Amino acid sequence: MHARFSQKTLSIARALIESVHDGMYIADHEGFYIMANEAFERITGINRQEMVGRHTQYMIENSWVPRAVNLEVIQDFQTRSRLVLYPSGRQLLVTAAMLWRDNGIPAAVVSTLRDLTELNLISEELKNSQVMIERFKKRIEYLEETLGSTNKFFIGQSTDFRRTLTMAKKVAGSDATIMITGPSGVGKDVLAQFIHYQSRRKNSGSFVKIDCAALPANLLESELFGYDKGAFTDARTQGKQGMFERANGGTLFLDEIGEFPFELQPKLLNVLQDRQIKHLGGLATIPIDVRIIAATNMNLEQMVRERKFREDLYYRLNVIPMFIPPLRERREDILPMIKHFLKIYNQNYNTGKFLSIEALNALMNYDWPGNVREVRNTIERMVVTSADDVITRHDLPGEIRKAYRLDTPASSYPVGPLKEALDTLERELIRKALESSPTLAEAARILQIDLSTLTRKNKKYGLTGHKTHPLNIY
């Protein structure tokens, strides 16, 4: 029995992980083996009994595994996923996450192993024989659900994604005004469309979008409210319907509401209160039945305090607030998105391109400041510009190669004995990592080596002086 856990706790945990189809491996917060399930043995070929009482590093030392993702998590407590090609030839998606005790102390790290090789083999068999379809149908559905669902609107499987989807379905049944916030590129307009098409309004009216930042105040006013003939110079002789009328019975999406001109905000507020409009140059009131969804990447509360946005309008719009977090905070969604967009653009450009493990690892661990929009554009660019069917690290955009340390300045080193050159390069990389990191653990994470390895090499190259102040290891 593991010293830090009761027999009852271990029994419950063992029963739970044995019921899981994916491989599972649990180590304590120092990396020592606690337990693994039968699927772990089946997928990796490693006898779990041989790990009893041993550190995870033992599997690396014996070349049973090429890397241990859970040891990376132990260094900085950050959940991460890696595609790992095992010596057996199996391609596994390994995800590791830290478990915490109620008092905030780390308890254990749990790793799940999903066999992508199996999915690829099944797909190939289906192509070769229609007779096999029914036999493997349930299996494929299970694996696809595990790797991430896709539909017309969303791609993702993270907890945040599922909560957002659940909330969207719940509020779609009402006519309450919704405010969607989040950074640029996360898909606020996509969420707004999803809510419309989940509502009764999809059958009674259209989804109409207007970008409040794209038009000056005078044009925005006429686009929203419409105008009568002769309302202003160059006005159409027959007048024009506004966006509110075009969205009647449906949904009007006010994108970039933070850019809505201050001088027009009272008029928008009146429409929200009275549910009627007047054309520019007109006298008659026109009743409207429109559901309003607004979106912004700006801090409207701060703008209200600075008197740049009306407080009464803010509260009228913020009846149901919804927030879409950036992609870097929901990394479980990155792989399904990459998979989805790669499939889409392979179809669009009639190609059959796929990503190398190194390229995919770099994409999965990139922070994606442009969020979903950046993922989509990056995948399309690589499908179009890569020379071969395999998209490698050389096809990645420069900012991703730089973030993942894939650019090596080999030309800056003189020709000489290989060992000396490698030592020089290694020393320089460690020195730069130490200088740019607040802790040894962070430096080890950047270099993708164990903390113990960094400590040993730090001493070997005499670099300890670069970190003379006390360090927090975690």
Q: For residue 19, what pLDDT is reported?
A: 83
* DSSP of 218-263: HHHHHHHH-B-TTSSTT--TT-B--HHHHTTTSEEEEETGGGS-GG
Average pLDDT over residues 46-68: 91
Cβ pair 35, 26 in contact under 8 A? yes
3-state secondary structure of 70: helix
Last residue of a domain, one of 325, 342, 376: 325
Q: For residue 123, what pLDDT is reported?
A: 62
Q: How far apart are CA 425 and CA 122, in angstroms?
A: 44
Q: What is the pLDDT of residues 265-306, one digit of tens each?
A: 999 999 999 999 888 877 888 999 999 999 999 999 999 999
Q: For residue 120, what pLDDT is reported?
A: 67
Cβ pair 272, 259 in contact under 8 A? no
Q: Is 274 exposed, middle or buried (0-12, 13-18, 19+ CB in 10 A)?
A: exposed
Q: For residue 144, what pLDDT is reported?
A: 42
Rounded to the nearest integer, the mean pLDDT of the chain is: 82
Q: For residue 472, what pLDDT is reported?
A: 34
Residue 402, phi then psi, degrees to nearest 5: -65, -45
Statement: residue 351 has pLDDT above 70: yes
414 and 286, same domain (yes or no): no
Tell me how many degrees the CA angle 202-207-212 measures, rounded to the nearest 5: 155
- Residue at 222 is within a domain: yes
Average pLDDT over residues 89-111: 88
Statement: residue 36 has pLDDT above 80: yes
% of the chain with per-residue pLDDT over 70 = 83
Q: For residue 439, what pLDDT is reported?
A: 79
85 and 189, same domain (yes or no): no
Of 465, 394, 383, 456, which is closest to residue 431 (Cα–Cα)? 465
Q: Is 418 exposed, middle or buried (0-12, 13-18, 19+ CB in 10 A)?
A: exposed
Domain count, the chain: 3
Average pLDDT over residues 69-79: 91
Q: For residue 2, what pLDDT is reported?
A: 56
Q: What is the pLDDT of residues 134-186, one digit of tens each?
A: 545 545 444 444 433 334 456 777 888 888 888 999 999 999 999 999 999 99
317 and 187, same domain (yes or no): yes
Higher pLDDT, 410 or 104: 104
Q: For residue 459, what pLDDT is reported?
A: 77
State which residues form the domain around 72. Answer: 7-114
Strands 106-115 and 149-150, bridge-based pairing: unpaired
199 and 319, same domain (yes or no): yes
Confidence of residue 453 (pLDDT cuts 50, 70, 90): confident
Cβ pair 193, 152 in contact under 8 A? no
Q: What is the CATH number of the domain that holds 76?
A: 3.30.450.20
Q: How far apart are CA 463 and CA 430, in angstroms?
A: 8
Q: How far apart are CA 160 and CA 247, in angstroms?
A: 30
181 and 84, same domain (yes or no): no
318 and 189, same domain (yes or no): yes
Q: What is the pLDDT of residues 232-260, one digit of tens each?
A: 555 455 678 889 999 999 999 999 999 99
Q: For residue 454, what pLDDT is reported?
A: 85
**Residue 204 CB contacts under 8 Å (≥ 6 apart), including other chains:** 249, 250
Average pLDDT over residues 3-11: 68
Q: What is the pLDDT of residues 420-438, one digit of tens each?
A: 667 777 877 887 778 777 7
185 and 315, same domain (yes or no): yes
Lookup: tokens for 216: 């000056």
Cβ pair 357, 91 in contact under 8 A? yes
Q: What is the pLDDT of residues 377-417, one digit of tens each?
A: 999 999 999 988 999 888 999 888 887 765 545 444 455 56
Q: What is the CATH number of the domain that holds 216?
A: 3.40.50.300
201 and 320, same domain (yes or no): yes
Lookup: tokens for 305: 């305090």
Confidence of residue 194 (pLDDT cuts 50, 70, 90): very high
82 and 186, same domain (yes or no): no
- Residue at 361 is within a domain: no
Instruction: Starting at the earlier edge strand, list the strands of the sheet with 33-36.
Output: 33-36, 23-28, 106-115, 91-100, 80-85
Strand ranges, E, within 353-469: 354-355, 390-391
CA 361 → CA 365, 395, 405, distances in Å? Answer: 6, 14, 12
Last residue of a domain, one of 85, 114, 143: 114
Last residue of a domain, one of 303, 325, 347: 325
Q: What is the CATH number of the domain that holds 449?
A: 1.10.10
Of 152, 177, 243, 247, which is closest to residue 206 (Cα–Cα)? 247
C-alpha radius of gyration, the chain, whole number: 28
CA 160 → CA 164, 204, 324, distances in Å? Answer: 6, 31, 8
